[in-house]
Amino acid sequence: MTLTPLDGLPGPAPDPAAPPAAPTHARAVRLAVSLLPLLLIAAWAVLDWRSLYDGVARLAAADPGWLLVAGVFTCLGWVAAACVRQGAVPERLPPGLLLASQVAAGAANHVLPASIGAHAVTLRFLQGQGIPLARGTASLALYSVVKPVAKTVVLLVFLVAFPGMLHFGDLMPDSWTLLLMAGGAAVALAATGVLMTVVPALRRPLTGLLRTALTDARVLHTRPSRYLPLWLGAAATPLLQGSVIAAVGYALGLPLSWAQVIFALLIASTAVGAVPAPGGIGPVDAAMVFTMSAFGAPVGLATATVIGYRVMTVWIPLIPGALVLSALVQRKVL
C-alpha cells in the first residue's frame, strides 16, 4: 500500500544530505561553452581552408622524420608554457592539470588575438585552484613582462654568439621605423598615466594590481623553484618555436642553419609581435618570410616553411587542444 500526502498537507521533508540538483540551464550553458571551441575551429577551417589545404599538401611531400622532430618541439612548447605559468605564482599547481590547461590555452590563443584566449583560460584555471582574481591577474602581468625580456636576452645572446654569420644590418629597421616604435611606446605609457590621473575609479584597482604583482614577484624571486622555471621556460619558448620552424624547413629543404632560423623568428616576432592577431598569425608570418629571404632562402620555400609551421603548431594541435578545453570545462576545472 502506497501512502500519498493529503491535499493541502506538506509532503515528506527533503533529505538534507542529498546533493542539490544542478539547474538545467547551467548544464546547457556548460555544454554550449564546451562545444564552442569545436564550432570556432570548424568556422575557421571554412574561412581559411585554402591555407590549410596548401600547408597539408606541402607537408605530405616533406621528410616525415623532420616533421616528427617538429611535432616533438611543438609538444615541448606546452611544457615550457606550463613551467612559466608555474613560476609566476607562489602556490604549487597540479602538474598534470597545469599542462592540460596550457594545451587548452594554446587552442584558445589561436582563436582570439593578443593572447587574450590563453590568458582567459589560464586565469580561470588559477581561480579554480583557489588563487584569488587579483593575484591571478598579477601572475598574468608578470608572465607578460618576463616573456619579452627573456626573448630580448636570447636575441642579445645570438648577436654575441653569431656576429659574422647573421647579417644584422640588413634586417635593422630604418630610423623612421625606430622613431615610430619609440613614439608608440611613449604614447601608450602617457595614455596609461592620463587614465589613472583623470579616472579615479581606475586608479585603485590598477594600483592594487601593481602592488600585488610587485609583492608576488619579490616572493617568487627568493625561491629557485619558481624563478628558474619562470625565466628558463620563457627563454626556451622562442628557441622551441624556432626549432619547429627549422625542422619543418629541413623537411622541405630550407637552405638555412638553425641559428639563422631562430634569429629570423626573434627579429620577426620582435618587430611585429605587438600587432594584435590570433596567435601572431599574419604579421609575424610575413615578417618571417621576409627575414628568411634576407638570409638567402628562396621566397617560395620560405613561404612554404612558414605555412607548414603554422599547420604543425596551429591546425594539428587545435583539435586536441579544443577537446582538452572542452574536457576541462566539463570537469569544472575551468
Contacts of 201 by beta carbon, 8 Å cutoff, 6+ apart: none
Cell of 278: 590570433
The mean predicted confidence, pLDDT, of the chain is 77
Grid cell 591577474 — which residue? 137
Could you give the dihedral angle defined by the CA atoms of residues 47, 51, 55 and 60, in that order, rounded to the nearest 10 degrees? Answer: 60
Please give the Cα distance from 50 to 284 (Å, whole number).
Answer: 19
CB proximity list for 31: less than 8 A, separation 6 or greater: none
**Block residue for cell numbers 584569488:** 132
Whole-number percent of the chain with pLDDT over 70: 65
Give the residue-averaged pLDDT of 210-224.
Answer: 83
Distance CA 87, CA 143 (A): 9
Looking at mean pLDDT, say which of 55-64, 183-192, 234-243 comes out highest. 234-243
Q: pLDDT at residue 13 above 60? A: no
Q: Tens of pLDDT along 65-112?
A: 999 999 999 999 999 999 999 999 999 999 999 999 999 998 887 766
pLDDT score recorded for residue 103: 92
Question: CA 111, CA 48: separation in Å to the nearest integer?
Answer: 13
Average pLDDT over residues 176-204: 61
Q: Please report the beta strands in 41-144, taking only residues with DSSP state E, as ranges in sequence order.
A: none
Instruction: Quote the pLDDT of residue 288.
Output: 85
**Domain boundaries of the chain, sorted by first residue:** 39-330
Contacts of 217-222 spanning 24+ positions with Cβ under 8 A: 217/142, 219/90, 220/87, 220/88, 220/89, 220/90, 220/142
22: left (phi over 0), alpha (psi -120 to 50) or beta: beta
Q: Say which residues have a Cβ less than 8 Å from residue 334's Cβ, sequence separation at least 6.
A: 101, 104, 121, 124, 125, 128, 325, 328
Grid coordinates in use for 283? 604579421
21-67 tens-digit pLDDT = 445 666 665 555 545 545 554 555 565 556 556 666 777 778 899 99
**Could you give the count of Cα atoms lying within 13 Å of 153 in the half-sphere of its Cβ?**
13
pLDDT at 22: 47
Q: How far is CA 3 from CA 6, 7, 16, 149, 198, in A?
A: 9, 12, 22, 74, 70
C-alpha to C-alpha distances, 70 to 57, 64, 198, nearest whole angstrom: 17, 10, 50
Q: What pLDDT does residue 247 have?
A: 95
The DSSP bridge partners found for residue 278 are: 113
Looking at per-residue pLDDT, the higher value among 267 and 213 belongs to 267
- As a whole number of angstroms, the distance between CA 34 and CA 38 comes to 8
Mean pLDDT lowest for which of 44-48, 220-224, 249-253?
Answer: 44-48
- Classify residue 314 by its DSSP letter: I
Above pLDDT 90, what percent of the chain? Answer: 26
H/E/C letters for each residue in 194-262?
Answer: HHHHHCHHHHHHHHHHHHHHHHHHHHHCCCHHHHHHHHHHHHHHHHHHHHHHHHHHHHHCCCCCHHHHH
